[in-house]
Structure 1
């Protein structure tokens, strides 16, 4: 079976670099397309994805006019046509254009170029999200940048509206942190939660989920206002609530369960918890079967999560919580749920041989556990 192509190879490769060079030479005949491609490709193979994007951006700076505003105008003009009414590309965009907004962040984040740079990010995000680049402007010029973001939250193009939420997220993955107070973005989210694009509302929910790390009450209050406003379709507001509270639910936050109308002490117990083997090698999977039984006199809705405690490669133990399922159990009903739990190391989770355990978490409370041995990879 063929190996999957690494993202860095599919996202930024010679074909994409040549495509950029062709676009730029068409709008700026003096652009040295051949020299640009040669210099980039001499470096690309040894670089990871973000470094590849930075390499292309820096090489653009060497081949475009030294005046940043002139260079920015060329980049914007070189973008392909974009008609949102008929757009058929990926919502996220094509990595081909990621170096454009990276160029703006690296060279255009100055007082002199602020307006033209922000306007460029607005256009560039329609082709590849400019969420990372925006954060440099939020940190350097927060007031002026937030004025632009407020306007973007009302833009006709859903890519631009999504940028208003995604670019201001407190904990945007793989991007620099911003110093903006979390409450400063609530007016933006108030504008966007009623959006008709799932691309936008998914970002709004992820934004609120980020805020739960520091201010859960702000999130619960905000969701309450939105739910009472009737400005969003019931199914969509349910989606936003569920996604916004997912981390609080995993952590067993009582306020989140109360908001969802769930008891933190449901009349449910674990009748049996079984692992399909007493030991599993790193890289393999462990089967988990759990039989729940409702012991009360009313139907109970339960949110089931799986907590994996594992030996860490350096020392001690780590913990990871995995989403299970949601069930309605009638009085006296028993139900068995199953999960196949991969035992793989990841960038943030390095497993080592030793004793681990699986715990069953019901509505935020851990009520049963089973131990297993983690063996060296075979």
Structure 2
């Protein structure tokens, strides 16, 4: 995981975990227990701190806490929950991620609360912590170690009054959660939890549900489509929100041109349109410059179109790797003619791909089907 943006000097790890934030955490503990030596805690934590990566800083803070909190986990858990600030504002509905400085507290619970006798206390502690910062990474250790007990508890959390707890029931059980350990349970095991939270009125929760389904779609596309069809019949979620969730949940299948996914979203797999004048403005491009192309769509009947373009990037070994980019969705009427233009910059310092010179291909994809391919040279 890269935490520094090349070219800008911005460091995520330095913004999230620094002396100021560590001091803030120490002050919270000291205010609740004056025997907590906040000066020594900060001094110990910060030794060599600047050389550590983001996750290493989380572990450092957690391991340092082991020296300053009680050796008895039951007491330490109480020290943690009593030091916490008020929960995040439950009136908000999105983009309220909380304070990353509380992530090490989840790591502390994983490191010290995994004993069976502490399971209920550990889960209660994570439930309190996730209302300040998501415990999606920490909960996965308990799912793997105690799958039945933890999943039963998460099923209860799916109806909790605080939306951060409801979100964790979905986010923590995602099969392919980025930057987190893989779960040992079946990738569809949390469908009953999603059945409960998919009707949530909070976008922060429904986005997690959609991402969760997208994860499942990579191994069980049929399960995802059947689930969405069932939710549509149940009408527990508003039509507009469920449509948004469905688009987000099926995005990987749509990029692959999956006929069933496109049909569910209302797109015919073989739209009756003619594509003409598909052309590149330039066929020789340098890193940092843009691929510019245009084409004309002639509609022979009313159609809903999902228009994407695919760039086959040259790799270091001479092979190509396709990357699908969204262009636009539109509705065309029979007999209409639509001109579409696109300018896509090939950034030299992109974090998601590396540019190599050679012949690249640009393909036009409409409703999942290739409708033309052009080539250009990256110099």
The alpha-carbon deviation at position 94 of structure 1 amounts to 1.1
Are the counterparts in 2 of residues 91 and 159 from structure 1 also a CA contact under 8 Å?
A: no
Corresponding position: 1:255 with 2:260: yes
Structure 1 pair 3–66 and aligned structure 2 pair: CA distance change class (3 A): same
Structure 1 pair 67–87 and aligned structure 2 pair: CA distance change class (3 A): farther
Q: In the aligned structure 2, how far is the partner of 1:254 from the partner of 1:167?
A: 30
Aligned residue in 1 for 2:3: none
Selected match of 1:309 from 303, 309, 312: 312
Corresponding position: 1:365 with 2:369: yes
Within 5 Å, which residues of 2 pair with 1:60-71?
60-71=65-76
Aligned residue in 2 for 1:326: 329
Selected match of 1:218 from 217, 223, 226: 223
The alpha-carbon deviation at position 110 of structure 1 amounts to 2.4
Aligned residue in 1 for 2:84: 79
Deviations 1:311-363 (A, max 9, x none): 11344211111112111111222222233323235455222111101111000
The alpha-carbon deviation at position 257 of structure 1 amounts to 1.4
Structure 1 pair 338–70 and aligned structure 2 pair: CA distance change class (3 A): farther
The alpha-carbon deviation at position 89 of structure 1 amounts to 9.6
Q: In the aligned structure 2, how far is the partner of 1:41 from the partner of 1:269?
A: 64
Deviations 1:235-273 (A, max 9, x none): 111111111111111110111012122211111232122
The alpha-carbon deviation at position 8 of structure 1 amounts to 1.2
Aligned residue in 1 for 2:57: 52
Within 5 Å, which residues of 2 pair with 1:346-365?
346-365=350-369
The alpha-carbon deviation at position 90 of structure 1 amounts to 5.1
Aligned residue in 2 for 1:117: 122
Aligned residue in 2 for 1:340: 343
Aligned residue in 1 for 2:4: none
Aligned residue in 2 for 1:171: 176
Q: In the aligned structure 2, how far is the partner of 1:346 from the partner of 1:35?
A: 41
Q: Which moved more, 1:271-280 or 1:340-349?
A: 340-349
Selected match of 2:275 from 270, 273, 280: 270
Selected match of 1:200 from 198, 201, 205: 205
Question: What TM-score, normalized to structure 2?
Answer: 0.93
Structure 1 pair 351–109 and aligned structure 2 pair: CA distance change class (3 A): farther
Q: In the aligned structure 2, how far is the partner of 1:74 from the partner of 1:315?
A: 57
Are the counterparts in 2 of residues 84 and 157 from structure 1 also a CA contact under 8 Å?
A: no
The alpha-carbon deviation at position 131 of structure 1 amounts to 0.4
Aligned residue in 1 for 2:131: 126
Are the counterparts in 1 of residues 94 and 204 from structure 2 also a CA contact under 8 Å?
A: no
Within 5 Å, which residues of 2 pair with 1:275-290?
275-290=280-295
Give the unaligned 5+ runs of structure 1: none
Local SS of the residue matching 1:132: helix
Aligned residue in 2 for 1:291: 296
Q: In the aligned structure 2, how far is the partner of 1:92 from the partner of 1:86?
A: 14
Q: In the aligned structure 2, how far is the partner of 1:69 from the partner of 1:350?
A: 49
Local SS of the residue matching 1:113: helix
RMSD: 1.8
Number of residue pairs the alignment of both structures matches? 372
The alpha-carbon deviation at position 274 of structure 1 amounts to 2.5
Local SS of the residue matching 2:247: helix
The alpha-carbon deviation at position 121 of structure 1 amounts to 0.7
